[in-house]
Structure 1
């Protein structure tokens, strides 16, 4: 069965430095690759070591020391990573399906990174130092330009979606978007009363659970 899965995967090539690879690994959803199941639309199942990279938004598969990216996600019905369910949306992006009260939210795990500056000597970094001589980091279909001695910071930038009556995804990432789609709820007041911050994942799930009541 695993051979069937491998036929649907593309090799991932790393051309960045070790430091860059270590920094970019911070954008994985899980601390390590985990046992998971790939459920195909034709009924086949294949086990794999899986993780999701939130920077390039791509589901990755590990085989030994090699990392692969799923190449034909249209053939996949769902991916189960130890109880966490993911569905394919478009391009190479998967959303995690999370139950919230009587409803479901589709979490688009996303991380953005920005430069803190280029090495300025004596172990320091200068935010104004020129950024030149880029090398590349390729992961699946995505290529990111990097510099060997540049320091990066990472910031969660998740998107949250629900499905409307027509089955289309609707963005509810902000308080304004939530209020528009749940007009009977006072979302802002609920957040203030419960000290919830919608940019925090755990808090956002509580807000959505309230909305679906």
Structure 2
């Protein structure tokens, strides 16, 4: 796979405000981040599994596939046994892997969780940078640090050259997504839930006033969707 550089890109604000930390990993200069993270948190599956890509045209294509949380890419193995990233994502309707269904939501794939009437609930996992500290004299970390949420595209895992003299802390996070019947997925937050129910604003407002809803909690969101389906 032709990925050789660690490229940091800012994640949009909605991801920062709707994500849950799961685990943190600290990487020192010259260390390989893929040696720090368990395999089950790098890929969605322990190995490449039979997958089916369903295109909006109705065509289908099968390949051994896996989702890479560092790359935030759907990978597949072609006829030459090369591992490649799936392209032309705007033409993809959905992907099935090992009984799971994935949809492409703007810049990442989300995995279907449940459906309540026409509303779909999904989740996505990804890595972010949460802090960077420069190394001072004798390899000690300075007080100056950058604490902001950024995402990155990682290389192929054989060797990672991080920013010189920088200790970087990453976290693996998950966030919930919701979509209407047209599969337009957006992160779960109060604003986006209100947008899903333009004709039930009063009902939704009453529910939120009478119930403490954690927008990071699958249980809370499913309960809200069930209530709003009545």
Which of 188, 192, 205 aligns to 2:208? It is 188
Of the candidates 17, 21, 24, which is equivalent to residue 34 of structure 2?
21
> Is the CA contact (8 Å cut-off) linking 1:110 and 1:159 kept in structure 2?
no
Aligned length: 188
Where does the alignment leave 5 or more consecutive residues of structure 2 unmatched? 7-29, 147-151
Task: Report the Cα distance in structure 2 between the residues aligned to 1:173 and 1:210, rounded to whole angstroms.
Answer: 16
Q: For 1:179 and 1:40, locate their aligned partners in 2 and report how far apart those are by CA, in whole Å.
A: 30
Within the candidate set 18, 37, 51, 1:37 is matched to: 51
Q: 1:71 to 1:208 in 2, by over 3 A?
A: same
The 8 Å contact of residues 97 and 104 in structure 1, kept in 2 or not, is answered as: no
Deviations 1:3-32 (A, max 9, x none): xxxxxxxx3424455523345778646263
Q: 2:178 corresponds to which residue?
A: 161
Cα distance between partner residues in 2 of 1:80 and 1:15 = 30
* Alignment partners' CA distance in 1, 2:71 and 2:225: 26
- Kindly indicate whether the alpha-carbon contact (under 8 Å) linking 2:176 and 2:218 is maintained by their aligned counterparts in 1: no
Q: 1:151 to 1:38 in 2, by over 3 A?
A: same
Give the corresponding residue for 1:98: 113
Distance 1:119-1:95 versus aligned 2 partners, 3 A rule:
same
Matches of residues 83-94 of structure 1 in structure 2 within 5 Å? 83-90=99-106, 93-94=108-109
2:18 paired residue number:
none
Inter-partner Cα distance in structure 1 for 2:50 and 2:119: 21
Q: Are residues 1:73 and 2:108 paired?
A: no
Q: CA deviation at 1:50?
A: 0.7
Cα offsets for 1:121-153 (capped at 9, x unmatched): 8886445169xxxxx95459xxx9942652313
Residue equivalent to 1:82? 98
Describe the SS at the equivalent of 1:109: strand
Partners of 2:63 and 2:76 within 8 A in 1 = no
Listed one character per residue, the Cα deviations across residues 31-79 of structure 1 (whole Å, up to 9, x for unaligned) are: 63441312343544413131242x5532223679964211233454421
Deviation at 1:118, TM superposition (A): 3.8
Shift of 1:175: 2.5
Asked if structure 1 preserves the Cα contact closer than 8 Å seen for 2:72 and 2:153, the reply is no
TM-score (norm 1): 0.61
Deviation at 1:85, TM superposition (A): 0.4
Q: Corresponding residue for 2:224?
A: 207
Provide TM-score, normalisation by structure 2. Answer: 0.58
RMSD of aligned alpha carbons = 4.2
**CA distance in structure 2 between the partners assigned to 1:105 and 1:27 by the alignment:** 24
